[in-house]
Amino acid sequence: MDKIILGYDFTENTDCALNVAFSLAEKSDCVLELVWVDNSLDDLIQIAKQTIRQRIEEILRTIVSQNRHRLSAERLTYSIVEGKVYEALAEKANFEEAALVIIGTHNVGGFETRWSKTNASKLVEMAKCPVLTVPLDSDDVIGFKHIVFPVDFTFSTREKAPIIAWLAQGFGSYIYILGLLTSTEDSHVEKVEEYVGQVARFFVNNQVEYEKEYRKTKNLAKEILSFAEEKNADMIAVMTKQETAVANILLGSYTHQILMNSKIPVLTMKPLEINTLDQEYSGT
């Protein structure tokens, strides 16, 4: 069975992510593994470190036991790993070929904490599988009913379609396909329209409800976030590779900007290494 990994650290934002993780696991055949990363105990004496790890394991075991009614024993587990939080979680996900990593995130305050959005951005860069970040602000999310699916000029922009179709089938989601036009050149407009059409046909073939809309913009991140708020969306799906612009030099990649500023969950994917897109998304 595929595995969903949840980075768990016993904070309020992680509890929100935990609810999302259970919902996803319940609607699929995936195993859910809660992972706590031991990253701050190296300077403690061994006895104290062992005591803390035992307490953490007791809490994880209790969470698993209390949720047996939601997932069976073979589909709900936990583990403790060591290292920097984003590196350790990415390495575990990559080694086990996880289908998805989920973490709760929050804005950085006076110091960088375990699942700050900065750490989340680093995790996205390192993990090979999709990463779902669930901000503390999104504690009212009970299901992904409205998902924003941005489509830009890059070839990989369509690659999120299969996982979004899977989510939509499980949650009964409605998809907003957002065609992003950063140029008025005919070749640019035609290519974005072609990609939007291919994604739309893919959703039709998978019985997913959608509508499509186009926006002209010079800043993809700002437009995507504004559009998501306008549509009252509860998820944004983006690729790690998007169109480039001079603004990125000052603000960072569009993906990073969205992760840092979104108040709703963001699903982030890396581009595939093998080209299978034209046949899969054109419906041929």
| CA distances (Å), origin 44, targets 38, 50, 52, 112 | 12, 9, 10, 20
What confidence score (pLDDT) does residue 177 get?
Answer: 98
Flag residues of the chain having pLDDT under 50. 109-112, 245-251, 274-277, 282-284
48-89 pLDDT, tens digit per residue, is 667 888 888 998 999 899 888 889 888 999 999 988 888 999
CA dist., res. 117 & res. 124, Å (int): 10
Residue with tokens 């583990």: 79
Quick one: pLDDT at residue 250?
A: 38
Q: Are residues 73 and 167 in the same domain?
A: no
User: What CATH number did the domain enclosing 125 receive?
Assistant: 3.40.50.620
Q: By the 8 A CB rule, do 280 and 195 touch? A: no
Domain containing residue 88: 3-138
> 121 with 13, same domain?
yes
Residue 213 confidence (pLDDT): 98
In this prediction the pTM is: 0.86
Residue that is last in its domain, among 107, 138, 169: 138
